[in-house]
Amino acid sequence: MNKFRFTINALAVLVFTLAFMSIAQAQATRTWVSGVGDDVNPCSRTAPCKTYAGAISRTAKDGEISTLDPGGFGTVTITKSITINGGNGGQGYGSILAAFTTGVIVNITDAADVRKAVRLDWLNINGASTGIDGIRMLAGNSLHVSNTLIDGFTGDGIDLTFSAAHTTSLNVESTQIRNCVANGIKTDGFTNPSKINATISKSSITRCGVGINLVDGTLANIHDCVINQNTSHGVQVAEPTSGSVANISSTTIANNGAGTGVNVVGGSRARIARCNIFQNLVSLAPAAQVDSGGNNSIVGNTTNTGPGGTPFPQN
């Protein structure tokens, strides 16, 4: 009887080990999706999957999902470090239709995942005017978004709003965000000792509520961007509990008709250099909380006030 039990236990261990090895072997460093793929496939280049959600379970931590050709690849929740490449240069542009939902959720909490880093490249995330957020990060160390179009959400284009103290980084490059009712980009570190380091470059944010909204412990560098035609503020630097700082250079902030080009709240601070601030309701508010490199163009706003409270113009 004991020998029989020993044999059963040994077989159970063997089956578990083989199953674990099978799962591990099924996770490749690089997987593939195609508009004509199928999620029952192994997600190889010759037998690609249909969706990003289907491919992610077959992709190893720190691996990459690549896109072979144009297609609609579905919304996805990311719980490990990974790269999703929609197809370099638009060849195989990765489309995510996110009507009534969020396009990409990042929620990495695994302590064994040291990097906790996500890179999204060459994606088209379409909320169809009913989606919630384009990209929402709940947990993780870093989020990189490049060469991506985010359009048509009732919430935020990119949202990093944390419910507990958190330290992370956001890098947005060569990306277009438009038609988001709340914010184009929102960062909220919750409270001290939170810290969000954000870099936003070579990107345009148009027709949102607030273009870029930096809240609670965000340190942001914004350069070579166009922030235009938003219904409220172009850039807001705010703090319910802890101050934020925005360094803004070589950026056009214009036609944010119902609000302020650069709006600073509480103990936060903004610094501007080589910026064009045109045709907003108010140029800077309060101007005394904006430091200037002395080389900005501020003209055509309903209220033109230069940095540090100096009278218009500040060039």
Length of the chain: 315
* pLDDT value of residue 92: 64
Nearest C-alpha neighbor of 125 from the set 146, 145, 97, 101: 97
CA distance 74 to 24: 25
CA distance 23 to 54: 14
pTM above 0.75, yes or no: yes
Dihedral sign for Cα atoms in the order 74, 75, 78, 82: positive
Cα-only R_g, the chain: 23
CA distance 52 to 206: 28
Name all domains of the chain by residue range, CATH numbers in brackets. Answer: 62-309 (2.160.20.10)
CA separation, residue 182 to residues 159, 175, 208, 230 (Å): 10, 18, 6, 10
- The tens place of each residue's pLDDT in the chain, 315 residues long, gives 555 454 555 555 444 444 444 444 468 999 999 999 999 999 999 999 999 999 999 999 999 999 999 899 999 999 999 999 998 666 667 999 999 999 999 999 999 999 999 999 999 999 999 999 999 999 999 999 999 999 999 999 999 988 777 789 999 999 999 999 999 999 988 765 568 999 999 999 999 999 999 988 899 999 999 999 999 999 999 877 778 899 999 999 999 978 899 999 988 999 999 999 999 999 999 988 999 888 999 999 998 876 655 544 555
* pLDDT value of residue 204: 98
The token pair that represents 297 in the structure block: 């163009």
CA distance 184 to 234: 10
